[in-house]
Structure 1
Amino acid sequence: MVTDAPSPAPPPDDPRTPLRVLLPQILPAVVVGVSAGLFYLGITELSDQLKDVVWETLPGALGIGGYSSLWMLTVLTVTGIAVGLVVWKVPGHAGPDPASTGLQGAPLAPPVIPGLLVASTLALAGGVSLGPENPVIAANVALAYWLGRKVAPAAPGALWVVLATSATIGALFGTPVAAALVISEALTHRPTGQGSLWDRLFAPLVAAGAGAMTTSLLTDFTFDMSLPQVTEPGWGDLFAAMVVATAAALFGVLSCYAFPHVHRAFRRLRHPMLMLPVGGLVLGLLGTLGGPLTLFKGLEQIKDLASNIGGWSSGDLAKMTVVKLAALLIAASCGFRGGRIFPAVFVGFAFGLFAQALVPEIPPAVAVSAGVLGVLLATTRQGWVSLFTAAVLAPQPELFPLLCLASLPAWLIVTGRPQLELDDSGASLR
């Protein structure tokens, strides 16, 4: 259930001078940004603590391997049962179908949020191949919208939506740049004549910066995978980036075509206590096939891949790439609550390492950046965010022109194709 609130967008133009409009927005933007960052860190810490209990403490006490095939099957099936109970019994049913939700949307009603957070925390801890981004953004947006309307009823409701969205994206990525890119793409669908772009981005950037600084100061997480530097990239590197990005985009688009069919198959089970346990069982089987690196949201697992470049065979990397993408499709189709961006980053990273294993002459930084770029373009259809994410994994200024050019043939592959998101009828968005 959602309210009748407007979709995320900056507030309309104000007849006063820009300075008088922007200055009063600083304080609420900072408050929302810090609060969103703390909220994200709280959910992450809770899920990590539960994850340690499930995957280390319990199997250790039972004297079995924490990532044995039997334990992976058991934990993921039990996770499906637990999340199914939340979706079935908790008021609000943990929000709308996650297959039809993206990073932005209308605020959920506050009673929906507890169930959504419980369901997503259980999924994160249980090893489901989804990230925290969609549920945490939805929760922060709902809370900011509800509190903002009470504290400052004269302020446009859309202001609280865009501040909370920007703040959470800033916290998730550890930088306000990602939020600026997301909001900028959203603004392209808005009519002109509402002030300059930077006027409209001012408050969202303040919120995103506050959220990013909150997580940066309280954690040591970074997207930089410390990949070997590329010195003086040349024409061969450009060609490799274009080929890998295009191939990764094709691979990602295949999952988008499969998504509505997998979703429809689970919907035939009709009840969350069938869809989610069956989905958990399938995810457990995939985990036994792909190994523990194919579990969870994928960001920590990327570090394991990056720390052992050259230590994985092309067959191992191909298997992990396919298994992780299949796990993402299953998790998003059967009703687990979570986001699809972070697991898609793992898919692109593993795809790039697979390409590099086949052609060792390709620098790892070029291969994985191009792989992430292609998969994200296919699954999110957000060009700037895909470029940004690919670039921060290997933050080398020399690579950015290569990635910009590599995005062009990849974009020709994905534009107009189905996305990894469905509408309310179960049809693919394009």
Structure 2
Amino acid sequence: MTAEATAPPPALSIRQLLLLSIPALLIGVISALALAFVNWLAGLLHDVLWTNAPGAFGISGNTPWWIFTVLTATGIAVGLVVWLMPGHAGPDSATTELVSAPLKLTVLPGLLLAIVLSLAGGVSLGPENPIVAINVALAVALAGRIAKAAPTPIIAAMAASGTIGALFGTPVAAALVFTGMAAGFKMGGSLWDRLFLPLVSAGAGSVTTYLLGGAFGAAYSGTPYGAPQPFDLLTGSLVACASAAFGLIAVYLFPLAHRLFHALRHPLVYITAGGVVLGLLGMLGGPLTLFKGLEQSDELLKNPSAYSTGQLTLFLVVKTLALVVAASAGFRGGRIFPAVFIGVVAGLLGHALIPGLPMSLAIACGVLGVVLTISRDGWIAIFVGVAMVGDVTVLPMLCIIVLPTWLVVTKTREMLITPADLAKEKPGMARAKVG
């Protein structure tokens, strides 16, 4: 192969970067508005399902039989969308990562409806994968009609980073994610040249989210960690590694559950079955184990001493099973947000078992361990761990504790259904066009 064939594409000039910053800003703002729109729709339906409708029957939305009813009905509704809508609500979220190839526009209405139903109905998945997919598809389609100055991968990177910035309320999250992906961008130049446009979009997305009143993080108001202590490296590592090891239970149950549900063949049947199981788990674990988990993490951290070790253990087991079921039964949604809740609970349990470990560091380590296992991204795991306690003093410790934790997960499988996994299922299932 010649040197010319392997040479990287030329870097964009300063003028090109400045000109492309305009669409990057617009894409970031639109991405944040799209996320806000999805959350708004889900919020309206949430009020109907969990406040207005049970109120009409004179009961609370936290009543166990109502939890079962809503989640079962949500399974039926999402199953109908996946079965009947054009594009079948996009690919099974079990088979997709946070950022994937652009979808066809015809897929988006079904995907939008499926994620709104899941978010409102209490399914233990977050909005991250679907909203990234929706925004990337819209940005690529719009850019293709208006201007073709920027390659499709750069437009997709802008939309994905703008959405990630909006989801986590800061461009830092997008920068961390895309640092590892920048080598694939169709442009030369330094790392910062490649990250420039995605960061512009991420900044616009995060500022828009802030102006709309959104934020990522929890209501933890405990004592900040303070100065690092050498012994805390050991105890913090124990909590992080144990949390990561527990998360691996979900990872290895995932393909088994996927095979079990999809053996039912029809999306209406297996997604409804998933809703029934989620309803039973919701009855067992209660309202804190429902939904994507961010608001529920807030509730836990407002008064962590109000929950016994037994309650925390119940939350940990139920939410982990709920994540596995929701992700494998054909619902559309991301796995990072519920992993954050599981990590918060694991951190609180770690603090209860090792009282000498400061609570803020224990929580951050629990989140670090579980999110690292589920997302397989060390940067996101560190960022979310710090964000959930709002305490930057834990950052130096997490930067060290992530190293042994990474050794626990690095050679294990990812929480992702691969073509090889599908090939192990029945031949007809591997060729299925839906779900």
Q: Same fold (TM over 0.5)?
A: yes
Partner of 2:195: 201
RMSD: 1.7
Q: How does 1:210-249 map to 2 (within 5 A)?
A: 210-228=204-222, 229-249=224-244
Amino acid at match of 1:109: K
TM-score by length of 1: 0.94
Give the Cα–Cα distance (whole angstroms) in 1 for the partners of residues 249 and 87 of structure 2: 33
Which residue is equivalent to 1:4? none
SS at match of 2:360: helix
Q: Aligned in 2, Cα 1:49/1:276: closer, same or farther, shift over 3 Å?
A: same
How far residue 399 of structure 1 moved from its aligned partner, in angstroms, is 1.2
Q: 1:367 aligns with which of 359, 362, 368?
A: 362
**Alignment gaps of 5+ in structure 2:** 1-6, 424-435
1:295-324: per-residue Cα shift (whole Å, max 9, x none)?
000000001100111111111101101110
3-state SS of paired residue (1:93): helix
Shift of 1:389: 0.9
1:382 equivalenced with 2:369 (yes/no): no
User: Judging changes above 3 Å, is the alpha-carbon distance between structure 1 residues 111 and 241 closer, same or farther for their aligned structure 2 residues?
Assistant: same
**1:89-238 to 2 correspondences below 5 Å:** 89-187=84-182, 190=184, 194-228=188-222, 229-238=224-233
Select which of 393, 398, 421 maps to 1:398.
393
Number of equivalences: 416
1:414 maps onto 2:379 in alignment: no
The match for 1:68 among 63, 66, 80 is 63
Instruction: Using the TM superposition, give the Cα deviation of residue 158 of structure 1 relative to its aligned residue in structure 2, in angstroms.
Output: 1.1
1:305 and 2:333 equivalent? no
- CA-CA distance at 1:192 after TM superposition: 11
Whichever residue aligns with residue 413 of structure 2, its letter is P
Match of 1:33 among 3, 28, 31: 28
Residue 153 of structure 1, CA deviation: 2.5
State the identity as a percent: 50
Q: Select between 65-74 and 352-361 the one with higher mean Cα deviation.
A: 352-361
Query: With structure 2 as the length reference, what TM-score do the two structures score?
Result: 0.93
- C-alpha separation between the residues in 2 aligned to 1:219 and 1:426? 41
Task: Name the CA distance, whole Å, in 1 between partners of 2:390 and 2:289.
Answer: 25
The residue number in structure 2 matching 1:3 is none
Write the distance in 1 (CA, Å) between the matches of 2:354 and 2:343: 16
Deviations for 1:233-291, whole angstroms, at most 9, x for unmatched residues? Answer: 31232222111000001011121111111100011000011111110010010011111
Structure 1 residues 150 and 349: CA distance shift in structure 2, 3 A:
same
Within the candidate set 329, 339, 354, 2:349 is matched to: 354
Aligned equivalents of 2:68, 2:18: Cα separation in 1: 54
Preserved contact between residue 227 and residue 364 of structure 1 (Cα < 8 Å):
no
User: What amino acid is the match of 1:371?
Assistant: G
Alpha-carbon distance between aligned partners in 2 of 1:255 and 1:60, rounded to the nearest angstrom: 36
Q: Report the alpha carbon displacement of residue 222 of structure 1 after superposing the two structures with TM.
A: 3.7
3-state secondary structure, aligned to 2:25: helix
Q: For residues 405 and 12 of structure 2, what CA distance do their matches in structure 1 show? A: 43
Query: 2:53 & 2:289 partners in 1: Cα distance?
Result: 21
Task: Determine helix, strand or coil for the equivalent of 1:92.
Answer: helix
Equivalent residues of 1:263, 1:426 under 8 A apart = no
1:149–1:155 contact (8 Å) kept in structure 2: no
Distance 1:151 1:265, change over 3 A: same
Q: Deviations over 1:116-155 (max 9, x none)?
A: 0100100000000000011100000000001101111242
CA distance in 1, matches of 2:422, 2:88: 22
Aligned position for 1:282: 277
Q: What is the alpha-carbon distance in structure 2 between the residues aligned to residue 356 and residue 55 of structure 1?
A: 33
Deviation at 1:44, TM superposition (A): 0.4
Does the residue aligned with 1:106 lie in a helix, a strand or coil? coil
Q: Secondary structure at the match of 2:180?
A: helix
Q: Report deviation, 1:18.
A: 2.9
Deviating beyond 6 angstroms after TM superposition, the runs of 4 or more aligned structure 1 residues are: none
